[in-house]
Amino acid sequence: MEKRVRVRFAPSPTGPLHIGGVRTALYNYLFAKKHGGDFILRIEDTDQERFVPGAEEYIIEALKWCGIEPNEGVGFGNGPYAPYKQSERKAMYGQYADQLIKAGFAYYAFDTNEELDEIRERMKAAKGTFSYNAITRQNLKNSLVLPEEETKKRIANGDSYVIRIKLPRNEEVRFQDAIRGWVQVNTAQMDDKVLYKSDGMPTYHLANIVDDYTMKITHVIRGEEWLPSAPLHVMLYRYLGWESSMPQFAHLPLLLRPDGNGKLSKRDGDRLGFPVFPLNGELLDTKTQKPEKFSGYREAGYYPDAFVNMLALLGWHGAGNQELYTLDELVKEFSLERVSKSGAKFDPEKTKWFNQQYLRKYSDAELADAMMPILEGKNIKKDKVFVMEFCRLIKEKAHFINEFYDLGSYFFSAPTTFDPKVIEKKWNENSKPLYTKLNEKLTASSDWTNTAIQKTFEDAQAEFGKMDMQLLRVLLTGVAGGPQLFDMMALLSKEECTKRISAALVSLK
């Protein structure tokens, strides 16, 4: 029988979850759903120094907003393998470290940070690099070279120590990545990574393997930054005797900054004016130790499904030309084979386009329902019929519903200034009498529908001479662009329109 698919998203609570992380979570979610499996959220908080309060809650809220909820894990209910937070699983890692030591696959190391740093400095000065490996470990302070008595004594004394993996000197490690194919590294290029820290916590490497194994994870889908440590993980599975149940690896391409080179970062968002995070928030910055604010897609006005659709297409593409996918469609179509190998530069313009596509799917009534509270927040009272028509007229121009008001504020208040470019070009000494007559005719008209207004306008032209529609638009709204003129006038009402024209004619010389 095929094993039930189980995947996990395993972020560290060291800061806000950035969109690269959201995409990793999304691909895990899609893969799990596609195969009818489980999607687990595990919090990897083995680094107590970089722990940021609130980060975990942020991650949970972000996944909820995106609609890609784990069915098991921190914040989403315990499954059979709880707890899902590594700090709460602390007790179980030690035994595996001991197991490795007993089997001769790991050893105690007593070198202090200062000592190792000193060696690194020296090697650097000599244009070399230091690696704690099969060769160098023979000259360092560890249980491989120290007499057994000495090791025991040091441990009994409470001396600080770490546990390192004991890698062979020269051996090829191979594994098959679902996205990249065979990847091969020689252990001579690897170093004896610390598995167990002197503070009694495991490092990522040990905890990750132990958790994936004990949680019966079948596929590890994570960012490309983990590719270099994958061989180490393979060795750990082997040494722990778990190689036959080792998960399939899949290393996702990175999200790159839109301009220049490098990984997408918070700074790029600040600099280029687009969010790099799903939600607004404020969390402690681990570097500066000060709270830092950051902005998110939710508050920028994005629909979660548009945001998710956009992220899905950044590094993955279906078989055809389709670009707009519902979550269900993504689940159906998704496969790791169709994930690209190369990094994707993030494109804020296309991201907006996605939202626009989703915006247009909503009916005017639905848009009005979303618009009413925004207007109320500005102390504007309009009935729903008015707001619906407003939405119908304004939506073609917008990418976001939160742009509606700024795009059409003149629907709610008369203009006080008039686009100087249009006035300069089109306003002349004949304008005032001409538009005064038009206004009289409009005032006298009995029918105020789109077509009736148009007819009145045309009749007035036949009678008094040619009039410019854009100029009339500016008289009414103050700005050069906007929705269809007569539709707009119809909505605004006769009283409002004629009042505005009069006012404009007074203020224009």
Strand partners, 124: none
Q: Is 315 in the site for RNA (CB under 7 A)?
A: yes
User: How far is the C-alpha of 408 from the C-alpha of 403, rounded, in Å?
Assistant: 9
What angle separates helix 494-507 from helix 469-477, to the nearest 10 degrees?
90
Q: Is 287 in the site for RNA (CB under 7 A)?
A: no
Question: With contact defined as beta carbons under 8 Å apart, do 450 and 486 qualify?
Answer: yes
Q: Which of 88, 118, 396, 447 binds RNA (CB under 7 A)?
A: 396
Sign, CA dihedral 463-464-468-474, equals negative
Q: Which of 6, 11, 239, 249 binds RNA (CB under 7 A)?
A: 11
Q: How far is the CB of 376 from RNA (least distance, A)?
A: 26
Nearer to RNA among residue 2 and residue 478 (C-beta): 478
Nearest one of 57, 18, 20 to 41, comparing CA atoms: 57
Nearer to RNA among residue 142 and residue 379 (C-beta): 142
User: How far is the C-alpha of 86 from the C-alpha of 108, rounded, in Å?
Assistant: 22
Q: Is 333 in the site for RNA (CB under 7 A)?
A: no
Task: List C-alpha distances in Å: 306 to 66, 67, 319, 418.
Answer: 9, 11, 20, 36
Q: Which of 17, 220, 485, 497 binds RNA (CB under 7 A)?
A: 485
Nearer to RNA among residue 224 and residue 369 (C-beta): 224
Q: Which of 3, 267, 332, 338 binds RNA (CB under 7 A)?
A: 338
- The amino acid at 376: E
Q: Is 459 in the site for RNA (CB under 7 A)?
A: no
Strand partners, 106: 165
Strands 194-196 and 162-165: antiparallel
Q: Is 383 in the site for RNA (CB under 7 A)?
A: no
Segment 169 to 228, residues that bind RNA, using CB under 7 A: 180-181, 183-186, 189, 191, 194, 197-199, 201, 203-205, 208, 224-228
Segment 421 to 450, residues that bind RNA, using CB under 7 A: none
SS3 state at 325: coil
Q: How far is the CB of 381 from RNA (least distance, A)?
A: 26
Q: Which long-range contacts (CB under 8 A, 24 or more apart) does 320-329 make?
A: 324/354, 324/357, 327/67, 327/68
Per-residue mark of binding to RNA, 65-104 (x: CB under 7 A): ----------------------------------------
Segment 462 to 481, residues that bind RNA, using CB under 7 A: 466-470, 473, 480-481
Q: Is 403 in the site for RNA (CB under 7 A)?
A: no
How many Cβ atoms are within 10 Å of 404's Cβ, its own excluded? 25
Q: How far is the CB of 392 from RNA (least distance, A)?
A: 11
Q: How far is the CB of 67 from RNA (least distance, A)?
A: 21
- Does residue 494 have an active-site annotation? no
Count of residues near RNA by CB under 7 A: 83
Question: Which residues participate in catalysis according to the annotation?
Answer: 266
